[in-house]
């Protein structure tokens, strides 16, 4: 049952990304180009998502446990360290260059757009390298993942 609802949630999320234009890198890049061909429409998508998440969390916190799990799985660390800042910077740079973040990139993959066919393998290589290199960087060791 949990797998089914996970799949259904992912399907709705992916469809939302496509309908909102988040799977179109040109639209995302135009949103990021504030001093050029700025397209503010994604701000409404993000605002709607933020409002939905806010309301969803308010409802979820009223429960003893999630509907399909025995307990909430929450991060314990609130530290802002070098690994977090560095990872956020790399993510932001990749988003700005490619026009994709991971969810929309995977959603756009079946469309076989050339940018997606480059971005997704590069993302997977980056994830693999990051996982393997993390033990060699002391700043990344400070907070358990």
Tell me the whole-structure pTM to 2 decimals.
0.66
Q: Which stretch of DSSP H or E encloses residue 113?
A: none
Total domains, the chain: 1
- 3 state SS of 70: coil
What percentage of residues in the chain have a pLDDT greater than 90? 22
Torsion over CA: 14, 19, 58, 87 (sign): positive
For residue 90, which of 63, 127, 120 has the smallest C-alpha distance?
Answer: 127
Domain extent at residue 49: 2-140
pLDDT in tens, 94-115: 888 888 888 888 888 888 888 8
* Residue 122 within a domain: yes
* Residue 145 within a domain: no
For residue 14, which of 108, 92, 94, 96 has the smallest C-alpha distance?
Answer: 108
């Amino acid at each position: 049952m949990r797998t089914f609802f996970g799949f259904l949630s992912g399907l709705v999320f992916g469809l939302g990304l496509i309908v909102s234009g988040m799977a179109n890198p040109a639209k995302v890049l135009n949103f990021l180009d504030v001093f050029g061909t700025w397209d503010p429409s994604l701000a409404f998508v993000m605002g709607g998502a933020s409002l939905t998440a806010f309301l969803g969390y308010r409802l979820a916190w009223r429960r003893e446990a999630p509907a399909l799990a025995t307990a909430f799985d929450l991060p314990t660390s609130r530290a802002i360290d070098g690994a977090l800042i560095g990872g956020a910077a790399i993510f932001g740079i990749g988003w700005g260059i490619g026009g994709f973040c991971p969810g929309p990139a995977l959603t756009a993959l079946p469309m076989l757009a050339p940018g997606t066919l480059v971005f997704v393998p590069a993302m997977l290589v980056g994830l693999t390298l990051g996982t393997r290199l993390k033990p060699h960087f002391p700043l990344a060791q400070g907070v358990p993942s």
